[in-house]
Amino acid sequence: MEFFKIRRDIPFMRHALVFNIISFATFALAVFFLITRGLHLSVEFTGGTLMEVNYTQAANVGKIRDTVAGLGLTDVQVQNFGTSRDVMIRLPAQKGVSTAQQSANVLAALKAADPDVTLRRTEFVGPQVGEELAHDGLKALGMVVFGIMVYLAFRFEWKYAVAAIIANLHDVVIILGFFAFFQWEFSLAVLAAVLAVLGYSVNESVVIFDRIRENFRRYRKMNTIQIIDNAITSTISRTIITHGSTQIMVLSMLLFGGPTLFYFALALTIGILFGIYSSVFVAAAIAMWLGIKREDLIKASAKKDEDPNDPNAGATV
């Protein structure tokens, strides 16, 4: 399915050096902000108090959030849990205030707003648990990166695997750089979004690489730059349909999903936009600079197609 078909190839690789210089500068800034400012970690990572309260009627999450914020608490997470009457509240740790005192203050404020509220349970999420979650998250990120490299190396060739991993890590670091610069809250939901962006971005790279391999077999007179430009141009319609429909869904979560989904949708929005950019100008360009050529992709299949009984097999003309 195509909305339109471009008859003339767009010379993307002509501007590859300029765009990659911009990418490197953006990447370096993201790393700088990560080192100097760091991530603003949520309660799951830093530790805090977890409260579960119950209402006799459907809870007004926005009103509850405003009530808790009125106590001077920041970075509070409020969301429905199980049913519309059950609400889970995550509170950051406060110096000099115990978990019992903190939960008692919050419950008193909630009762003042609605006397029918009841406390189901209170738990303390310690920093040790948060540290374990951080380690597990980094471990999951590393396993995803390793799996993508192995997959691309087997499906294509090592040069493509290196190019795709650099492009994907470029996307991830830039997302983290945005969160470090603006000090947006980094939660488990945002980590899930980062992992989703990794898979989403590599999918776009695979589509372009697959078209490059197909073009190497189809167009014998084209050079590498022309092959890559044709591959990207011929997949533009598919890119617009796929990323456009996905972005509409993500933007709906960003605009109408409320505070619970806001940073999750924001990370996906940044990742999708940079994922398109990196697949075209970073992954394809790095693969070109690594010296991909027709022989890298077709030599194996050419040997299989040779007839062992043919005395001219392997001969050149």
Assigned domain for 87 exists = yes
Residue 122: phi and psi, rounded to 5, are -135, 130
The domain boundary, picked from 125, 153, 179, lies at 125
* One-letter identity of residue 205: S
Domain that holds residue 33: 12-39+130-301
* Ranges of H-type helices in 12-98: 16-36, 43-46, 61-69
Average pLDDT, integer, range 40-47: 78
Contact present, 132 and 53 (Cβ < 8 Å): no
Assigned domain for 3 exists = no
Higher pLDDT, 62 or 32: 32
C-alpha distances (whole Å) from 177 to each of 46, 77, 237 are 19, 23, 30
Average pLDDT, integer, range 31-35: 95
pLDDT above 50 (res 306): no
Please check whether residues 203 and 66 belong to one and the same domain: no
Note the pLDDT of residue 3.
63
Please check whether residues 152 and 84 belong to one and the same domain: no
How many CB atoms lie under 10 A from the CB of residue 184? 16
How many CB atoms lie under 10 A from the CB of residue 16? 20
How many CB atoms lie under 10 A from the CB of residue 11? 14
Q: Give the C-alpha separation, 182 to 177, whole Å.
A: 9
Please check whether residues 170 and 290 belong to one and the same domain: yes
Q: Count of domains in the chain?
A: 2
Please check whether residues 118 and 236 belong to one and the same domain: no
